[in-house]
Amino acid sequence: MSTKMELARLSTGDIAYRYDKSIVVFFKGKRKVLSTSVYNGGYHEEFSAVFNHDGTRGAGMPCELLADTYVEHMRLVAQRLGLNPDTVTGMGTAAHMENVSIKSLSYEDLTVTAIVTGGIETNGGRVGDPAEYFKKLEKPDRPGTINIILALDTDMPPGTMARALVTCTEAKTAAIQELMEGSHYSNGLATGSGTDQTILIANPESPLYLDGAGKHSKLGELIGQAVMAAVKEALDRQSGLNAVSQHDLLRRLQRFGVTETSVWSDYQAMAKNTGLRKPLFLEQLYALKNDDTLVSYGVLYIHLYDEYLWGLLRWEEIQPVAERLLRIMADHCGVTASAIAWTADNGVMEALGQLLALAVQAALVVKDGEPV
């Protein structure tokens, strides 16, 4: 059974506790709240607390609903947390509260605190990706993935809170873009998950009153820096998404459908009846996918293709450069680039998969059906 625990004491005097698989921020005084949650979402001035709740039944297990609808479920969660369900708003997630990141930044009398949990390893997506969810008059029952509680120790009008929400969202997206994480629903880069949620808290009891939260304001700067740092740390803690894990050519290629399985298929087609055992193939592939030279030239190749997909470069511009990059990578691996066939409409990213398969083949000598 979890024990109630003080997690952070905010500059507003509010206290964040972590207990019962949740993080709850209890308000010391009157607060303005702007929430994207379907449970008591919108703008409010009468709330006593906000919370973030891990809805999973255990590590690696799906989320649990306590009622027929998500809203009723969250009301029951609020009651279990000892809260009045009518005077709080909350977010659900599959991220663990132990992996929370808290970042605070200050400038003169202003303090901004971001409390973030997150992971986009299963439903990270890019805005505009193909979607299926459309239910009239019903609310989604899927929990949020990147959840942000943003405490702003200043008073401000509701419109500025809305602008702060925009800045917060931009910061979250910027953090994900800097990690170059791919979407699970298209070949684009992720901009968040399909179920992200944010709760903003402003302090009407503060003598400080600000009306700007955009990128030209100090408040916007602090929001951007605090949220970016907290999102990156939370993603690292929850799912190991960081610079080290992204130094992996196969991980970068995954959004284009190039995976261990596809490279193994390419290898089988090339090697035919060599009898190579898959574990030995994977051992060599794992060494190649983290090779400094391959990763460096590989990400240049991928970004070049991204520029083509975004309409910033023409095929006639990128083709000779892409071919040159392929030759450099092929020479590094001791294989022939001319063995790789690709066109603008088919196989541009698959070419890197073929290159990896050829590199494995070149690295392994097989005699009488056994690798040596």
Least confident of 227-231, 264-268, 366-370: 366-370
* Helical segments of 191-314, H only: 218-239, 243-246, 249-253, 260-271, 278-289, 292-309
The first and second tokens of residue 207, run together, are 């003598």
Asked if pLDDT for residue 2 goes beyond 60, the answer is no
Which residues share a beta bridge with 243? none
- Six-digit token string for 127: 């805005």
The pLDDT of residue 370 is above 70: no
Determine the pLDDT at residue 364: 78
Closest among 294, 269, 264, 114 to 201, alpha carbons compared: 114
Q: pLDDT tier at 344 (50, 70, 90 boundaries)? A: low
Give the pLDDT of residue 120. 78
pLDDT reading at 139 higher than 90: no
pLDDT the model gives residue 276? 74
87 with 137: CB under 8 angstroms? no
What is the per-residue pLDDT across 236-262, written as a single tens digit (0 to 9) for each? 999 999 999 999 999 999 999 999 999
Cβ proximity of 228 and 177 under 8 Å:
no
**Helix or strand holding residue 117 (H, E):** strand 110-117
347 Ramachandran zone, left/alpha/beta (phi>0; psi -120 to 50):
left
* More confident: 199 or 368: 199
Q: What angle do CA 159, 161, 167 make, to 5 degrees?
A: 110
Q: How many whole angstroms separate alpha carbon 370 and alpha carbon 372?
A: 6
| SS3 call for 237 | helix
Has domain 5-242 been given CATH number 3.90.1150? no
* C-alpha triplet 45, 18, 162: angle, nearest 5°: 30
**Quick one: which of 181, 170, 177 has its CA closest to 225?**
170
Q: State the pLDDT at residue 199.
A: 98
Classify residue 8 by burial, with Cβ atoms within 10 Å: 0-12, 13-18, 19+: middle
| pLDDT at residue 340, as a whole number | 78
Alpha-carbon torsion angle 321, 354, 181, 283, nearest 10: -130
Q: Which residue has the higher pLDDT, 116 or 368?
A: 116
**Radius of gyration in angstroms for the set of CA atoms belonging to the chain, rounded to a whole number:** 24
Lowest mean pLDDT among 48-62, 97-111, 148-162: 48-62
CA–CA distance, 260 with 164 (Å, rounded to integer):
42
How confident is the model at residue 342, as a pLDDT? 73
For 172-189, the pLDDT digits (tens) are: 999 999 999 999 889 999
What is the widest separation between alpha-carbon atoms in the chain?
82
Given pLDDT bands bounded at 50, 70 and 90, which one contains residue 367?
Answer: very low
Residue 134 tokens read as 């459309």
Q: How many Å apart are CA 175 and CA 197, to the nearest integer?
A: 16
Least reliable range by pLDDT among 3-12, 17-26, 164-173, 301-310:
3-12
Q: How far apart are CA 59 and CA 168, in angstroms?
A: 29
User: What's the pLDDT score for residue 141?
Assistant: 43
pLDDT at 106: 97
H or E segment and range at residue 54 = strand 49-54
The 15-19 sheet, strands edge to edge: 5-9, 15-19, 22-26, 49-54, 88-93
Higher pLDDT residue, 346 or 202? 202
Reported as a pLDDT band with limits 50, 70 and 90, residue 127 is low
Cα distance between residue 153 and residue 268, in whole Å: 60
Nearest CA-CA partner of 220 in 160, 272, 178: 160
Are 132 and 105 within 8 A, CB to CB?
no
Distance CA 154, CA 237 (A): 30
Q: Using CB atoms within 10 A of its CB, is residue 363 exposed (0-12), middle (13-18) or buried (19+)?
A: middle
pLDDT at 35: 97
309-332 burial, b if ≥16 CB within 10 A, otherwise e?
A: eeeebeeeebbeebeebbebbbeb
**pLDDT category, 194, cuts 50, 70, 90?**
confident
Cα 269 to chain centroid, rounded: 35
Tell me: pLDDT of 164 over 60.
Answer: yes
pLDDT greater than 50 at residue 58: yes
Tell me what percent of the residues of the chain surpass a pLDDT of 70: 87
What's the whole-model pTM score?
0.88
Phi, psi of 182 (to 5 degrees): -85, 155
pLDDT computed for residue 195 by the predictor: 87
Instruction: Give me the pLDDT at residue 144, please.
Output: 45
Give the residue extent of every domain in the chain: 5-242, 249-371
Greater model confidence, 270 or 290? 290
pLDDT of 269 higher than 70:
yes
pLDDT at 130 over 90: no
Average pLDDT, the chain: 89
